[in-house]
């Protein structure tokens, strides 16, 4: 039993992925006049070799915000815009990060033409809590499909009519997403 505890403690201490095993503070989205929270991080897909991730601006200071920032988005006239970014300090008084640090030749709000993907908006009661990433499951989700910054589809997904995954399945899914995110930050590995 003692050996098992030592092995478990060692795994926890030396596994960087487990340091991030916390539900995350979501970005927010102003949509149809409402402030909603999204289980997606559109800004992450902006960063690549041409647009390196400014880790000096997005410092780690809170396990509930592994990305180091919280962004505010807006859909206006069928297009997605980045309005604001604040430090991911897990504080209600987080300092704003100027958009000009990331988009030096543009003035905000910034049209998110780089983003193609889905924005997941949880709705209703939480049906399953997963202490990692955005793995928790809610009664419904609004799914917004964005292509090159333009809203192309909106659908309502009713999770009450689906078989609920287990907490372990959702945790594994979130661990895989985390690994992919970490790999994308360090492509040489």
Domain ranges in the chain are: 23-185
Alpha carbon distance 148, 159 (integer Å)? 28
**Helix or strand or coil: residue 93?**
coil
pLDDT in tens, the chain (189 residues): 444 444 333 333 333 334 345 778 899 999 999 999 999 999 999 999 899 988 888 887 788 888 889 999 999 999 999 999 998 887 788 899 999 999 998 888 999 999 999 999 999 998 888 776 677 888 999 999 999 999 999 999 998 887 776 667 666 776 676 666 666 666 554
How much is the pTM? Answer: 0.76
Buried b (16+ CB within 10 A) or exposed e, 32-42: eeeebebbbbb
């Amino acid at each position: 039993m003692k050996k098992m505890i030592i092995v478990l403690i060692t795994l926890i201490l030396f596994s960087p992925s487990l340091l991030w095993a916390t539900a995350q503070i979501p970005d927010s989205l102003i949509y149809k006049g409402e402030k909603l929270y999204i289980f997606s991080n559109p800004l992450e897909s902006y960063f690549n070799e041409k647009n390196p991730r400014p880790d000096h601006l997005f410092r780690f200071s809170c396990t509930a915000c592994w990305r180091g920032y919280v962004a505010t988005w807006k859909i206006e006239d069928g297009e997605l815009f980045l309005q604001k970014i604040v430090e991911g300090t897990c504080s209600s008084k987080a300092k704003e990060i100027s958009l000009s640090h990331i988009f030096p030749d543009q003035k905000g709000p910034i049209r998110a033409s780089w983003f193609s993907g889905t924005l997941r908006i949880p709705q209703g009661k939480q049906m399953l809590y997963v202490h990692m990433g955005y793995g928790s499951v809610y009664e419904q989700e609004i799914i917004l499909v964005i292509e090159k910054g333009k809203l192309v589809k909106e659908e309502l997904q009713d999770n009450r009519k689906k078989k609920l995954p287990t907490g372990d399945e959702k945790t594994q899914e979130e661990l895989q997403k985390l690994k992919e995110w970490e790999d994308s930050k360090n492509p040489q590995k």
